[in-house]
Amino acid sequence: MKPILLQGHEWPITQIKYNGKGDLLFTVAKDPIVNVWYSVNAVWYVHADWNTKHVLTGSADNSCHLWDCETGKYFFDLRDPSQIDNNEPYVKIPCNDSKITSAIWGPQGECIIAGHKSGELNQYSAKSGKVLVNIKEHLRQINDIRLSRDMTMFVTASKDNTAKIFDSTTLEHQKTFWTERPANSAALSPNYDHVVLGGGQEAMDITTTSTRIGKFEARFFHLAFEEEFGRVKGNFGPINSFAFQPDGKSYSSGGEDGYVLFLHARHYAGHPGL
């Protein structure tokens, strides 16, 4: 079965996410456009909470915005993205010391977990924006953060060529996965003890490098043993974002070329090494 290519952006994709039910796929890019696929600065990350009532977005002005999809002034219908344009977030978290480069909702939407350009991880209160926990396990910028299906842990991807697993409540470091290139994104399978991660060389160098040398494959690791066991090709440039569908039957990757690659389980599960 061939993968499905979705084209809704003219600039590189920065992040893709599914909602809890798996029937909506959010994609954001440097356009700046937020696309919602049915199943004002560049937008760098987006994350809907567990019941899709709140949406978190971040942009190039070094701030994190929280959107309330239910209450009065901040209500918007996710089927009509134009309603977002003139709204104001109900909480704004400024970051003067180190830019937030990725963020997710914590368990039950009570906190926000944010990764910074400095490699730090912060846990913020979703109500006040106050810092609750601060750690630094990465040596360079954190490019992506993804929560596990049961919300007990999350995975980070960093420019220091690693992806790491942390406890979602205490932020305690648990596992590390190593690559030869900067890791732009990582995601946890909802069905298996698998971690997928990818990235490749910097975008400025991709025109002078082949897909083989650039390391643009999706790389699969065993969660417990921290060992790589397979790779899947398909992207023609650096992979900027991964997302598993909540039922685990497919995953999607968004690349520097602006395309979303959608792969069904029958496609990647049958790949050599998987």
pLDDT at residue 2 in the model: 62
Is the confidence at residue 136, as pLDDT, over 80?
A: yes
This model's pTM is above 0.85: no
Residue 166 has pLDDT above 90, yes or no: yes
Q: Which of 13, 189, 78 is nearest to 5 (CA)?
A: 13
The Cα 238–Cα 215 span in angstroms is 8
Superfamily holding 2-264: YVTN repeat-like/Quinoprotein amine dehydrogenase (2.130.10.10)
Indicate the range of 15-24, 44-53, 96-105, 265-274 predicted with least confidence. Answer: 265-274
Per-residue confidence at 202, pLDDT binned at 50, 70, 90?
low
pLDDT for residue 97: 76
Quick: pLDDT tens for 56-102.
666 555 566 555 444 322 333 344 455 455 555 556 676 667 888 88
pLDDT at 21 over 80: no
pLDDT at position 9 over 90 = no
The string of DSSP letters for 145-200 reads: EEE-TTSSEEEEEETTSEEEEEETTT--EEEEEE-SS-EEEEEE-SSSSEEEEEE-
- Residue 159, burial from CB neighbour count under 10 angstroms (0-12, 13-18, 19+): buried
pLDDT digits (tens, 9 = 90+) for 41-55: 555 556 666 555 566
